[in-house]
Structure 1
Amino acid sequence: MAKAIMVVGTSSGVGKSVLCTALCRLLQQDGRRVAPFKAQNMSLNSAITPSGREIGRAQAVQAEACRIAPNEHMNPVLLKPTSARASQVVVQGRVLGTQTDFADGTDGLEYLWSRVEESFRLLADEFDVIVIEGAGSPVEMNLKARDIANMRTAALADADVVLVADIDRGGVFAYVYGTIALLTPEERGRVKGVVINKFRGDPALFEDGKRLLESYTGIPVIGVIPYLGDLEIDEEDSVALAGPRYRGERSEDAQTLRIRVVALPYMSNFNDFDPLFAEPAVSVQFCRHVREAADAHVVILPGTKNTLLDLQWMKATGWFDAIASSHGRGTHIVGVCGGYQMLGREVADPDGIESANGEILRGLGLLPVRTVWHSEKTTVLVDGIATLPEGEVPIRGYEIHMGVSTYVEGATPFARVRADSDTKWRVDGAIADGGRVIGTYVHGLFDHDVFRTAWLDMVRTAHGLSRPAGEVAPVPYQARREANYDRLANLLREHVDLSVLSI
Structure 2
Amino acid sequence: MLQGTASDVGKSLLTAALCRIFKQDGYRVAPFKSQNMSNNSYVTPDGKEIGRAQGMQADACGIAATTDMNPILLKPSREMSAQVVVHGKPFRDLGAREYRESYLPHAEGIVKEALGRLRAAYDIVVIEGAGSPAEVNLKDRDIVNMRLAGWADAPVLLVADIDRGGVFASVVGTLELLEPHERERVRGVIINKFRGDASLLRPGIDWLERRIGKPVVGVVPYLPDLALEDEDSASLDGKRRLAGGAPSADRRLDIAVLRLPRISNFTDVDPLLSEPDTVVRYVASVADWGEPDAVILPGSKNTAEDLRFLRAAGLEAKLLAFAERGGRVVGICGGYQMMGRRLLDPEGVESAAAETAGIGLLPLETVFAADKRTERVTGKAAMKFGAGREVNVEGYEIHMGRTVALEPADAPFRLRPLRLPEEPGSWHRDGAMSADGKVWGTYLHDVFHNDALRREWLNELRADKGLAPLLEATRFGELRKQAFDRLAEHVRKHLDVGNIYRMMEG
Alpha-carbon separation, structure 2, partners of 1:247 and 1:309: 29
SS state of the match for residue 141, structure 1?
Answer: coil
Equivalent in the alignment of 1:141: 136
Q: Counterpart of 2:405?
A: 407
SS in 1 for 2:77: strand
Amino acid at match of 1:419: P
1:266-301 Cα distance to aligned partner (Å, 9 max, x none): 000111101001101211101101232240111110
Q: Which residue of structure 1 lines up, in the alignment, with residue 32 of structure 2?
A: 37
Q: Give 2:439's match in structure 1, choosing from 437, 444, 449.
A: 437
| 8 Å CA contact 1:389, 1:434 repeated in 2 | no
Q: CA deviation at 1:202?
A: 2.8
CA distance in 2: counterparts of 1:135 and 1:8, whole angstroms: 7
Task: Pick which of 239-248 and 172-181 moved more.
Answer: 239-248
| Structure-1 residue corresponding to 2:65 | 70
Assess if the C-alpha contact under 8 Å between 2:224 and 2:242 holds in 1. Answer: no
Give CA deviations for 1:386-407 in whole Å, capped at 9, x if unaligned. 1223331111111110000011
Q: What are the equivalent positions in structure 2 for 1:334-483 lying under 5 Å apart?
A: 334-357=330-353, 359-390=354-385, 391-422=389-420, 423=422, 424-467=426-469, 471-483=470-482
Q: Tell me how far apart the structure 2 counterparts of residues 331 and 238 of structure 1 sit (CA, whole Å).
A: 27
| Mapping for residues 112-151 of structure 1, pairs under 5 Å | 112-151=107-146
CA distance in structure 1 between the partners assigned to 2:403 and 2:216 by the alignment? 54
Are 2:211 and 1:216 equivalent residues in the alignment?
A: yes
Q: Is the 8 A contact 2:225 2:242 kept in 1?
A: no
TM-score w.r.t. length of structure 2: 0.95
Report the Cα distance in structure 2 between the residues aligned to 1:102 and 1:233, rounded to whole angstroms.
Answer: 34
- The C-alpha deviation readout for 1:396-431, integer Å capped at 9, x for no partner, is 111110000011222111111011131310110011
Q: 1:245, CA displacement in angstroms?
A: 4.9
Q: Determine the C-alpha separation between the residues in 2 that align with 1:336 and 1:427.
A: 15
Match of 1:318 in 2: 314
- Which amino acid letter does the alignment assign opposite residue 35 of structure 2? Q
Instruction: Identify the match of residue 329 of structure 1 among 307, 325, 329.
Output: 325
* Shift in alpha-carbon separation, 1:204–1:396, aligned structure 2, 3 A: same
Residue 244 of structure 2 is aligned with which of 243, 249, 253? 249
What is the rounded CA distance, in whole Å, between the counterparts of 1:333 and 1:487 in structure 2?
34
Counterpart residue number, 1:13: 8
**Are the equivalent residues in 2 in contact too, given 1:203–1:225 (CA < 8 A)?**
no
RMSD: 1.4
> Do the aligned partners of 2:157 and 2:186 also contact (CA within 8 Å) in 1?
yes
Tell whether the 8 Å contact from 2:383 to 2:411 is kept in structure 1 after alignment: no
- Checking the alignment, whether the CA contact within 8 Å between 2:376 and 2:419 is kept in structure 1 is no
* SS of corresponding position for 2:504: coil
**2:175 aligned to 168, 176, 180, which one?**
180
Identify the residue that residue 26 of structure 1 maps to in structure 2.
21
Residue 247 of structure 1: how far off its partner (Å): 6.0
Task: Describe the shift of the 1:89–1:104 C-alpha distance in structure 2 as closer, same or farther (beyond 3 A).
Answer: closer
2:164 aligned with 1:165, yes or no? no
User: What is the letter of the counterpart of residue 300 of structure 2?
Assistant: T
Q: Which of residues 150, 154, 161 is equivalent to 1:155?
A: 150
CA distance in 2, matches of 1:244, 1:349: 33
**Residue 437 of structure 1: CA displacement?**
0.5
The match for 2:487 is: 488
Matches of 1:13 and 1:417 in 2, distance apart? Answer: 36
How many pairs were matched up?
A: 494
Structure 1 residue runs of 5 or longer lacking an equivalent are 1-5
Q: Which runs of 5+ in 2 are unaligned?
A: none
Equivalent-residue separation in structure 1 for 2:127 and 2:97 (angstroms): 23
Deviation at 1:68, TM superposition (A): 0.3
C-alpha distance in 1 between matches for 2:487 and 2:413: 37
Q: TM-score, normalised by structure 1?
A: 0.96
Deviating beyond 4 angstroms after TM superposition, the runs of 4 or more aligned structure 1 residues are 244-248
Q: Distance in 1 between matches of 2:381 and 2:435?
A: 15
Q: Tell me how far 1:464 sits from its aligned partner.
A: 2.4
Say if 1:49 and 1:55, in contact at 8 Å, map to a contact too: yes
Whether the aligned pair in 1 keeps the contact of 2:247 and 2:279 (CA below 8 Å) is yes
Question: How far apart, in 1, do the equivalents of 2:324 and 2:334 lie?
Answer: 22
- Rounded Cα–Cα distance in structure 2 between residues aligned with 1:9 and 1:370: 44
Provide the rounded CA distance (Å) in 2 between the counterparts of 1:89 and 1:497: 38
Contact kept, 8 Å, 1:247 with 1:285, in 2: the verdict is no
